[in-house]
């Protein structure tokens, strides 16, 4: 299981590197792209990163000009994350790269393997997901 996880992450890292991102940045960028604008806590819940790690990732994405953070108008104690126009373009380009990776996997892997891989996250959720550092 560990080897398979490493191999999948390595493939994502290759696609991420083409955009000058890490796999963790891709993960967070994808979560923001799906929900933006959204509270930082929602991104933390989706990705499972520890608050300090998530802050570092968001800092790097903000430094690239891909995300913005603003105080939440609801409670003024938390932040809301949004994609910038440049971040939307970057997320689209990254989505194209990842879609190509998925198409290649569909061509090369047996259907049963793909179905098992797609079902795996929901099945593993029952084991509990520890926070990622």
* pLDDT at residue number 129: 67
Prediction pTM value:
0.82
Which pair of tokens denotes residue 103?
Answer: 């198409």
In this prediction, the residues of the chain whose per-residue pLDDT falls under 70 are 129-131
What's the pLDDT at 110? 93
pLDDT at 18: 86
Closest of 33, 42, 28 to residue 74, by C-alpha:
42
Cβ neighbours for 30, distance < 8 A, ≥ 6 positions apart: 91, 94
What's residue 70's pLDDT?
A: 92
Q: Which CATH topology does 2-125 take?
A: Arc Repressor Mutant, subunit A (1.10.10)
| pLDDT at residue number 37 | 93
Helix (H) or strand (E) holding 24, with range, is helix 23-35
Residue 75 to residue 71: CA distance in whole angstroms: 8
C-beta atoms surrounding 22 within 10 Å = 15
């Amino acid at each position: 299981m560990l080897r398979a996880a490493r191999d999948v992450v390595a493939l994502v890292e290759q696609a991420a590197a083409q955009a000058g991102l890490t796999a963790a940045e891709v993960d967070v960028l994808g979560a923001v792209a799906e929900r933006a604008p959204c509270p930082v806590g929602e991104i933390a819940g989706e990705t499972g990163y520890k608050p300090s790690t998530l802050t570092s990732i968001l800092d790097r994405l903000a430094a690239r000009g891909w995300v913005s953070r603003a105080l939440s108008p609801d409670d003024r104690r938390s932040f809301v994350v949004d994609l910038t126009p440049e971040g939307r373009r970057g997320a689209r380009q990254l989505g194209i790269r990842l879609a190509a990776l998925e198409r290649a996997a569909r061509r090369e892997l047996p259907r049963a393997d793909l179905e098992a891989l797609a079902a795996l996250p929901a099945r593993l959720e029952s084991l509990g997901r520890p926070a990622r550092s």
